[in-house]
């Protein structure tokens, strides 16, 4: 990663069990929500005894916070790589990165699960400060990477130099998250396609 933030997957055999619990539990929580997912359901999905859960997590909230980073790790690395490699045009790299993410949803036909971090934030942020803070931390990584690429696009004469890259990055990211929410409610890909159409306009 290039952000200076550290989101690490565990490497040891011992921590493979932690990763398995996070993987199974996060997939379950993505479908059922935080309140619809109990610890027993998590350990059943992971195929481990309940004692193993408490070896790694103090509570369900502690698990959810860890799962937010766990599920974001590969996605953030992929997003940052997409913004720094590929097309020589920074503007096109931004467009391509979001088009690729939309294509994943389209290929899977999975329009109702949405974004794990976004889902937890919608469910808990108004009552759980730790979840809200973790979500903001992760969202800032995305917007910081996006703002850097926007600055490169401005330097290349592809994006209006008068635009504030940080505010433009926020607008793009917020529009994407909103499009994912609309995709869930409409149960089709059209909100993401509309986002992609407007992205090209925003990046002028």
Mention every residue, 6+ apart, whose C-beta is less than 8 A from residue 15: none
Asked whether residue 3 is domain-assigned, the answer is: no
Q: Within a domain: residue 172?
A: yes
The tens digit of pLDDT for each residue in 18-54 reads 999 999 999 999 999 999 999 999 999 999 999 999 9
DSSP code, position 10: -
- Provide the domain limits for residue 69: 59-202
CB atoms within 10 A of CB 34: 17
Instruction: Count CB atoms within 10 A of the CB of residue 141.
Output: 19
Residue-wise pLDDT tens digits, 99-153 = 999 999 999 888 998 899 999 999 999 999 999 999 999 999 999 999 999 999 9
Final residue before a domain boundary, out of 21, 42, 57: 57
Q: Which string of b and e fits 89-104 if b means at least 16 CB within 10 Å?
A: ebbbbbbebbbebbee
Residue with tokens 């990763």, as numbered in its chain = 19
Q: Domain for residue 1, yes or no?
A: no
Nearest to 102 by CA among 4, 199, 3: 199
- pLDDT tens-place string over residues 157-178: 999 999 999 999 999 999 999 9
Co-location of 31 and 86 in the same domain = no
Token pair recorded at residue 92:
């096109």
Q: Copy the structure tokens of residue 112.
A: 């109702």
pTM of the model: 0.87
Under 8 Å between Cβ of 138 and 71: no
Alpha-carbon distances of 204 from 85, 103, 146, 199, rounded to whole Å = 21, 23, 15, 9
* Co-location of 168 and 82 in the same domain: yes
- Is residue 2, in this structure, part of any structural domain at all? no
């Amino acid at each position: 990663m290039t952000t200076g933030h550290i989101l690490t997957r565990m490497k040891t055999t011992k921590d493979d069990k932690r990763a398995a619990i996070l993987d199974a539990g996060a997939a379950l929580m993505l479908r059922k929500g935080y309140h619809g997912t109990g610890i027993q359901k998590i350990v059943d999905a992971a195929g481990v005894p309940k004692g193993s859960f408490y070896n790694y997590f103090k509570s369900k909230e502690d698990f959810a916070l860890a799962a937010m980073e766990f599920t974001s790790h590969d996605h953030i690395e992929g997003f940052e790589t997409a913004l720094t490699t590929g097309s020589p045009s920074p503007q096109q790299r931004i467009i391509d990165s979001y088009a690729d993410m939309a294509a994943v949803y389209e290929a899977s036909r999975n329009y109702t699960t949405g974004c794990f971090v976004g889902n937890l934030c919608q469910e808990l942020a108004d009552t759980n400060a730790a979840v809200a803070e973790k979500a903001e931390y992760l969202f800032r990584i995305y917007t910081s990477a996006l703002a850097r690429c926007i600055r490169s696009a401005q330097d290349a004469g592809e994006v209006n130099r008068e635009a504030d890259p940080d505010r433009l990055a926020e607008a793009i990211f917020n529009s994407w998250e909103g499009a994912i929410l609309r995709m869930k409610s409409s149960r089709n890909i059209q909100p993401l396609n509309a986002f992609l159409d407007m992205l090209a306009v925003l990046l002028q």
